[in-house]
Every structure is written in C-alpha cells, then in structure tokens.
A and B are shown apart, each in its own frame.
Chain A
C-alpha cells in the first residue's frame, strides 16, 4: 500500500506515469472521480447489451444473430468486470449501482437514450457508435492511471476493434443494396449521426480533473474531431450523406468542419430525459427482475457448496 503526502505529491506521481492500485491510499477526490467514470462505463455496457439483445430475434440470418449474441455477451461480460472494479473502490456496492441505474438516479451514455427504429439503426450503431466508443476507450486506455481499469480496457479495446469490423462489413452490405435498403440506412444515419457527435461529451471545462488525473488523455474536442475527420469521408465514400447542412471541407487546413452542435439533446440525456430514456430504464429493470430466479438458484448452489466444503477446483 502506497500513500502520498498530499494532492501535489499525488499529482506529481501521476505526471510521472505512476499507476494507482486498489490498495493504495489514493486521495478521496481521485477515488470518487475514477469511480464515477467506471460506473458510467459499466452502466453504458449494460444498457448497450440490452439494446443489442432486443435485436437478436430480428437480425436477418443466423450469422448476424450470432454476431449480435456475441456482442451482447461481450458487453455483459464487460459490465460484469467493470462493476467489479468499481465496487472494489468502496464508494458504492454493485447492488447500489444497479439500484441507482434502474431507478434513473445515475447516468449512462447518451447514445442509449434513443430508440433503434429499424435493423439499419442497429447497423448504424454498430458502425458509428462502436467506433466512437473505441476512440474514447483507446484514449482512456493510453493514459489511464488506475491499474485495474487500464487492464480491463486493454481487452475491451481489442474486442471493440473486432465489433467495428463487423459494423463496416454490414454498412458495406447496405451500401451495395437496393435503393430501398440504401434509403433505410440513410434514415438510420440521419438519426444516429448527431448523437454520435455528442458522444464525445460537452465542451471541455477549462480544468478537467479527469485529464489532470490521467483518466482521460484527450479533450472532448480532440476526440470528437478524430471521429469527424475519419468518418465524414468514410460515410460519403459509401455513398451516404452526412446529415449536416453546414458541413464543409476546409481546403487550406485539409480538414472537415461540421456545423454548430445543438447541445440540448445531450443535456436531456444527462437528466435521463432523452426520447427513449424512460423505456430503456424500465426495460433494464424488467430484465433484472426477470433474471432474479437465476441469481437465487446460484446463491443456493453456492450455499450448498459452502455447507459441504465442496468447491470447484
């Protein structure tokens, strides 16, 4: 267990690339900031998994269903690991985090506050939102000062990269599809472009503690720009239109400039007042309640093993 004489001492340690481990006497503000960040990530993995799950029966063909099932399992596994690491920080128990999520008291990523209307929405999410998540997570992984989170992110980033390849493959199918299929994907793109742009967060605060404490490694603006510069040409290359009338290419700077961002929809999601927030939270709670019998059964098996001294090797 390590300890620091004060915040300045701790920040100097972080500045030198020091890694904080669970047993360390980290400053309380740091503990809470890291905890909130991981809790938000865990909540978002869980809410994302539930959305994908809804589309398994509707995905066209066995292979696409298999991919969605794998992604759902991936995300539930990530949520499980992240809730474990978050609970170990001693701020809230896992049960408390879940209760707060299901009662609408905590946050989850803005993109899970909207409804996926058609299967093309699911593809737009797999393509844009997963790419956005990957950009965010790679940036956190690069500089993350909290050891257990960094080690889990290593695996999450690798798996998101794999999801993205599937997203690309499915977009290509729409791009090569019939006029109706192309129109279907364009409509989905119209719904998901701006929420993805929002995903990198609101305008940065002047002194972002998450940056100072090496939880994030880039400002929201830098991350958003990384997405825009990469995805505007990709989306256009597939023959689709970016739904931004003010989008323009700056030939001198050789970069894309997007129009003004309306922050109100993002703010609404922070308050769990997005277009689909209520239904999403209700669905999550219903899923939790419906699976209560599995947890009860597992508890009974564990109790039986404890009573007989029999444990899995």
Chain B
C-alpha cells in the first residue's frame, strides 16, 4: 500500500508544467494532496496558480495519464481546489533555481512584487503588471537591462 502511494506520488511529481518543460508541477507548488485508497482509487488535489489559467485542463489530462500508468491504480480523479490559495512561496527552491536559469523568470521574495534579475541579481522594476500569461508580469533589470518576467502573486 505504501509502495503504491509513493509510486503515485512520484507519478504526480513527474508531470511537467505545460509552459515550463523540465519544471514539474510539484516544484511549482501546484500539488496539494494525493490520496490513495485500498482499492487503488486515487484523488489528486491541485492548486491552480490562477483560476483563469488556460493550462489547467492540460495539466489535469497529464496528471491523470501519469497516475493512470502506475500499476495497481484504478480510478483517478484530479481536482483543482480553491483552498489553499497559491502564492509564489509555494515554489520550491529547486523550482526557483530552474525558472531563473532556464527561463529567466524570477520569483519574488515574500511580500514583494519585484524579483531579482537572474542575470545579475539586481532588483527588477515592473514595466507591465501583465506579461504573456496571467501568472507573470514584465519587469526590467535596471542594472543590466535584461527583460525579466516575474511571477505574480
């Protein structure tokens, strides 16, 4: 039973975010709870970054597929929950490092909206509250000039 639960947990954690290939939904703090019952039925609770995120259905499909492929799993139910509310603090340190290194995306420190430039470490300045997606704003590094996308809270 514990083996199945950990295999299911690993399967959920192996799913990449559709917009950040190589970064898992676990690293982005989307995974809230994973429950496996004696019959092998699985319930996965995910926290959406934003309610209007257009990737939610794709994430649901990808998670269902990954969990469904685990031997011993029966029914899979993936739900998006409205509590807790997602904040950038839910992103793991591995997730932060990968976002900065691979995507030049910065995660702000608690209570702040500006991030640190992944190139030179300076505090970024906001140019537009909305970037290419609802969860990111467009900033610029005042020191090196790099356009930086900062995760919105």
Contacts and interface: CB of A to CB of B under 8 A. Distances in A.
Interface in B106-149: 112-114, 126-128, 130-134, 136, 138, 140, 145-147, 149
B52 A165 contact: no
B18 interface: yes
B147 A158 contact: no
Interface residues of A, number: 30
B104 A151 contact: yes
Contacts of A74: 132-133
Nearest to A70: B54
B114 A154 contact: no
B84 interface: no
B138 A165 contact: no
Interface string A274-313: 0000000000000000000000000000000000000011
Contacts of A76: 132
Contacts, number: 75
Given A66-B52, A73-B130, A78-B132, A158 B104 contact: no
Interface in A71-126: 71, 73-78, 80-81, 84-85, 88
A225 to B, nearest CB: 25
Nearest to B137: A77
Contacts of B134: 70, 73
Given A85-B147, A148-B146, A158-B19, A77 B130 contact: yes
Given A84-B140, A152-B147, A77 B19 contact: no
B132 A313 contact: no
A254 interface: no
B146 to A, nearest CB: 7
Contact of A77 (B103, B104, B105, B133): B133
B85 interface: no
A275 to B, nearest CB: 29
B102 A154 contact: yes
A74 B138 CA distance: 12
Contacts of A158: 19-21, 103
A155 B133 CA distance: 11
Nearest to A152: B147
A22 B57 CA distance: 39
A63 B55 contact: no
Most buried by A among B52, B102, B133, B147: B147
A22 B132 contact: no
